């Protein structure tokens, strides 16, 4: 019966076993994973847009090649994650329909504009930096396909993080104009990077369930603290400042304490009213419409091959 199955499911998680696609799982576990993995996949795909906008304007061949590789990696991460979600019984068409109709969420961070080239380095350093902290945690998650996807994705994002950090530090030590450009980018991306790790634990309705079933092994605030503890001292060491007058190192706990986060801004962005929400969705809808002929051609090709196989 249900109670016995649930007890066995929870015992498996407690033993550190992975739950695999054909295994029994509570409906709520399945629903939570579909929600999270599909939102994550959408984030990777929409996340190509802010950086993709700068490929034609990269300042050198080396930086252009790095950026092309990074954006291509993000497309791959999206594919990986849609596949992981499909193992839970949801179809790619359903997920895409939810994204394109505006029903599905994707990360708040990709609704901010990339105004200068330094934003590209800053996304690598801060946004990939935050994503890695969150995803290293998710690599431990109880659902096998998601945890394995995270291992591969984190390896690639570590490269994204390094190139971003190298770029921003280079500009921070460059001409006054380069330093000002790097500082301006850090000023604009710091708070959105903190917000992207999710609301405070007290306002995070999904965390208790996800922690109970080993999907999340840390809370939003714990991951945010790890992110700040690594990045705040490194940014200061590069000779840049952070736009938080309340930021200070606390000797007693060994943590960097931050000032209040503007959660009104966060919820406005999550609810579709951020600076770039409309542009991002329009770009995805346009890409989907323009790709219709490819999907039709693939379907026709598959049907033809099936016919020849039968004949
Ligand atoms: N944006 O109860 P919680 C990347 C929603 S990948 C929008 O705390 P949860 C790679 C949340 O969905 C970045 N919505 O939720 C890259 C929920 O609403 P719902 C994406 C957000 O799930 C780098 C409600 O608020 N990563 O960056 C956000 O326990 C560079 C209540 O929140 C992932 O998706 C947000 N930031 O914790 C690509 C990782 N935060 O669904 C290109 C997987 C919360 O109940 C360039 N996801 N909400 O209607 C997770 O780890 C979790 O879902 C959290 C949120 C931690 C994001």
Express each pLDDT in 147-161 by its tens digit: 999 999 999 999 999
Ligand 1 atom closest to the Cα of residue 35 is 41
pLDDT at 311: 72
Q: Whose C-alpha lies nearest to ligand 1, atom 15?
A: 206
pLDDT at 137: 97
Provide the pLDDT confidence category of residue 189 given band limits of 50, 70 and 90: very high
Provide the pLDDT confidence category of residue 310 given band limits of 50, 70 and 90: confident
pLDDT at 143: 98
pLDDT at 247: 98
Q: Is the CB of 105 under 6 A from ligand 1?
A: yes
CATH number at residue 283: 1.20.1260.10
Q: Is the CB of 204 under 6 A from ligand 1?
A: yes
Query: Domain range holding 120?
Result: 2-310
Q: How far is CA 287 from CA 280, 297, 310, in A?
A: 11, 16, 35
User: In DSSP terms, which residues pair with 143 in a beta bridge?
Assistant: 19
Q: Is the CB of 47 under 6 A from ligand 1?
A: yes
Q: Compute, in angstroms, the gap from residue 169 CA to the centroid of ligand 1.
A: 28
Q: First CA to last CA across the chain, in angstroms?
A: 49
Ligand 1 atom closest to the Cα of residue 37 is 43
Q: Is the CB of 220 under 6 A from ligand 1?
A: yes
Q: Is the CB of 104 under 6 A from ligand 1?
A: no
198 burial via Cβ count (<10 Å: 0-12, 13-18, 19+)? buried
Closest to 232 measured CA to CA, from 202, 254, 216, 217:
254
Q: Tell me the percentage of the chain whose pLDDT exceeds 70.
A: 100
Average pLDDT over residues 235-256: 98
Query: In whole angstroms, what is the distance from residue 112 CA to residue 192 CA?
Result: 8
Q: Whose C-alpha lies nearest to ligand 1, atom 40?
A: 198
CB 159 within 8 A of CB 132: no
- Give the orientation angle of helix 27-46 with respect to helix 92-100, to 10 degrees: 60
pLDDT at 67: 98
Query: In whole angstroms, what is the distance from residue 184 CA to residue 186 CA?
Result: 6
Contacts of 308 (CB under 8 A, 6+ apart): none
Q: Compute, in angstroms, the gap from residue 45 CA to the centroid of ligand 1.
A: 14
Helices (H), 196-253: 207-212, 220-237
Query: In whole angstroms, what is the distance from residue 31 CA to residue 56 CA?
Result: 40
Helix (H) or strand (E) holding 178: helix 176-195
Provide the number of structural domains found in the chain: 1
Instruction: Read off the pTM.
Output: 0.97
Q: Is the CB of 38 under 6 A from ligand 1?
A: no
pLDDT digits (tens, 9 = 90+) for 259-300: 999 999 999 999 999 999 999 999 999 999 999 999 999 999
């Amino acid at each position: 019966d249900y109670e016995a199955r649930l007890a066995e499911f929870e015992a498996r998680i407690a033993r550190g076993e992975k739950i695999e696609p054909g295994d029994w799982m509570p409906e709520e576990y399945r629903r939570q994973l579909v929600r999270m993995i599909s939102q994550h996949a959408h984030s990777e795909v929409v996340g190509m847009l802010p950086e993709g906008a700068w490929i034609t304007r990269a300042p050198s061949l080396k930086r252009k090649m790095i950026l092309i590789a990074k954006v291509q990696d993000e497309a791959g991460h999206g594919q990986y994650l849609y596949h992981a979600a499909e193992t839970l019984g949801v179809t790619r068409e359903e997920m895409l329909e939810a994204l394109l109709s505006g029903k599905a969420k994707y990360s708040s961070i990709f609704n901010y504009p990339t105004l200068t080239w330094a934003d590209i380095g800053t996304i690598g350093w801060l946004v990939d930096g935050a994503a890695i902290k969150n995803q290293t945690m998710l690599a431990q998650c109880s659902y096998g396909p998601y945890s394995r996807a995270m291992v591969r994705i984190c390896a690639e994002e570590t490269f994204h993080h390094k190139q971003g950090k190298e770029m921003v530090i280079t500009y921070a030590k460059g001409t006054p104009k380069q330093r000002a450009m790097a500082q301006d980018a850090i000023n604009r991306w710091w708070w959105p990077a903190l917000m992207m790790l999710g609301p405070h634990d007290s306002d995070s309705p999904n965390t208790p369930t996800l922690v109970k079933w080993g999907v999340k092994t840390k809370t939003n605030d714990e991951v945010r603290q790890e992110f700040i503890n690594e990045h705040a001292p490194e940014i200061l060491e590069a000779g840049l400042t952070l736009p938080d007058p309340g930021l200070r190192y606390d000797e007693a706990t060994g943590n960097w304490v931050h000032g209040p986060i503007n959660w009104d801004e966060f919820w406005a962005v999550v609810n579709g009213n951020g600076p770039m929400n409309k542009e991002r969705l329009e770009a995805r809808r346009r890409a989907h419409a323009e790709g219709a002929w490819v999907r039709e051609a693939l379907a026709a090709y598959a049907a033809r091959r099936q016919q020849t196989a039968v004949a």
